[in-house]
Structure 1
Amino acid sequence: MSVDHPAGVRPAQARGPRQIIAASIGNLAEWYDWYVYSFLTAYFAPQIFPGHDRLAQTLSSFAVFAVGFFLRPIGGLVVGALADRWGRRNTLTLTILAMGAASLIIAVVPTYSSIGIGAPIILVFARLVSGLSIGGEFAANTTFLVESAPEGRRGFYSSFQYVSTTIGQLIASGLSAILVGTLSDDAMNSWGWRIGFVVGGLIALVGLWIRRSAVETHAPSAERRPGLFEAIVRYPKQSLMIIGVTVAGTISYYTWTTYLPNYAEQNKFDPGKALIISTISLAFFTLLQPVAGALSDRIGRKPLLIIFSGAFALGIVPALALIRSGPSFAGYLAISLLGMILLSGFTSISAAVNAEIIPGHVRAAGIGFPYSLTVALFGGTAPVIGTAMAKAGHAGLFGWWVAVLCVVSLVVYLIMPETHRRPLQE
Structure 2
Amino acid sequence: MPSAQDTAPDRAVDDGRPPSRLRQLAAASVGNAVEWYDWYAYSFLAAYFADQIFPKSSGNSLVPLLSSFAVFAVGFFMRPVGGLVMGAVADRRGRRSALTLTILLMGGGSLLVALTPTYASAGVLAPVVLVIARLVQGLSVGGEFAASTTFLVESAGPGRRGLFSSFQYVSTSIGQLLASGIAALLAGQLSDRQMGQWGWRVAFLVGAVLSLLGLWIRRGAQETRSAERQAERPGLFEALRRHPRQSLLICGITVGGTIAYYTWTTYLPTYAQVNAGFDKGDSLTIGTLSLAFFAVLQPLGGLLSDRIGRKPLLLGFSLGFAVLAVPLLHLVSDAWISLLLVQCAGMVLLTGYTAIAAAVNAEVFPARVRAAGIGFPYSLTVAVFGGTAPYVGTWFAQAGNAGLFPWYVAVLCLVSFAVYLALPETARQPLER
1:115/1:327 CA distance change after superposition, 3 Å: closer
The offset of 1:212, in angstroms, is 1.0
Equivalent residue for 2:31?
26
- Cα distance in structure 2, aligned partners of 1:9 and 1:174: 37
Q: Is 2:301 the partner of 1:292?
A: yes
Q: 1:76 aligns with which of 73, 80, 83?
A: 83
Cα contact 2:37–2:176 (8 A) shared by 1: yes
SS at match of 1:14: coil
The offset of 1:330, in angstroms, is 1.5
1:201/1:235 CA distance change after superposition, 3 Å: same
Amino acid in the other structure paired with 1:61:
S
Q: Is 2:394 the partner of 1:392?
A: no
Equivalent residue for 1:10?
12
Equivalent residue for 2:3?
none
Equivalent residue for 1:312?
321
Equivalent residue for 1:3?
none
Please say which of residues 9-18 and 207-216 is displaced more in the overlay: 9-18
Equivalent residue for 1:332?
339
Cα contact 2:277–2:334 (8 A) shared by 1: no
Amino acid in the other structure paired with 1:167:
I
- Cα distance in structure 2, aligned partners of 1:370 and 1:194: 33
C-alpha offsets along residues 310-369 of structure 1, whole Å, 9 cap, x if unaligned? 01001111111111xx25212221111110011011000000000011000100000000
- Cα distance in structure 2, aligned partners of 1:291 and 1:388: 36
SS at match of 1:141: helix
Q: Is 2:408 the partner of 1:401?
A: yes
Cα contact 2:253–2:420 (8 A) shared by 1: yes
C-alpha offsets along residues 54-76 of structure 1, whole Å, 9 cap, x if unaligned? 41100000000000100100100
The offset of 1:220, in angstroms, is 5.0
- Cα distance in structure 2, aligned partners of 1:140 and 1:14: 17
Amino acid in the other structure paired with 1:10:
A
Equivalent residue for 1:226?
234
Cα contact 1:7–1:220 (8 A) shared by 2: no
Q: 1:259 aligns with which of 252, 263, 267?
A: 267
The offset of 1:40, in angstroms, is 0.6
The correspondence of residues 2-401 of structure 1 with structure 2, limited to 5 A, is: 10-11=12-13, 13-52=18-57, 53-218=60-225, 219-221=227-229, 224-266=232-274, 267-323=276-332, 326-401=333-408
- Cα distance in structure 2, aligned partners of 1:138 and 1:222: 20
- Cα distance in structure 1, aligned partners of 2:102 and 2:233: 21
Amino acid in the other structure paired with 2:78:
L
The offset of 1:258, in angstroms, is 0.8
Amino acid in the other structure paired with 1:240:
L
TM-score, normalized by length of structure 1?
0.96
- Cα distance in structure 1, aligned partners of 2:136 and 2:49: 19
Cα contact 2:78–2:135 (8 A) shared by 1: yes
The offset of 1:14, in angstroms, is 2.6
Cα contact 2:329–2:342 (8 A) shared by 1: no
TM-score, normalized by length of structure 2?
0.95
- Cα distance in structure 2, aligned partners of 1:220 and 1:38: 42
SS at match of 1:13: coil
Identity percentage of aligned residues: 63
1:192/1:327 CA distance change after superposition, 3 Å: closer
Cα contact 1:39–1:173 (8 A) shared by 2: yes
SS at match of 2:331: helix
Cα contact 1:86–1:220 (8 A) shared by 2: no
Amino acid in the other structure paired with 1:135:
G
- Cα distance in structure 1, aligned partners of 2:47 and 2:77: 22
The offset of 1:109, in angstroms, is 1.0
Q: Which runs of 4+ in 1 moved over 2 A?
A: 6-15, 219-224
Amino acid in the other structure paired with 1:394:
N
The offset of 1:13, in angstroms, is 2.5
1:220/1:376 CA distance change after superposition, 3 Å: farther
SS at match of 1:421: coil
Amino acid in the other structure paired with 1:93:
T
Consecutive unaligned residues in structure 1, runs of 5 or more: 1-5
- Cα distance in structure 2, aligned partners of 1:370 and 1:54: 36
SS at match of 2:432: coil
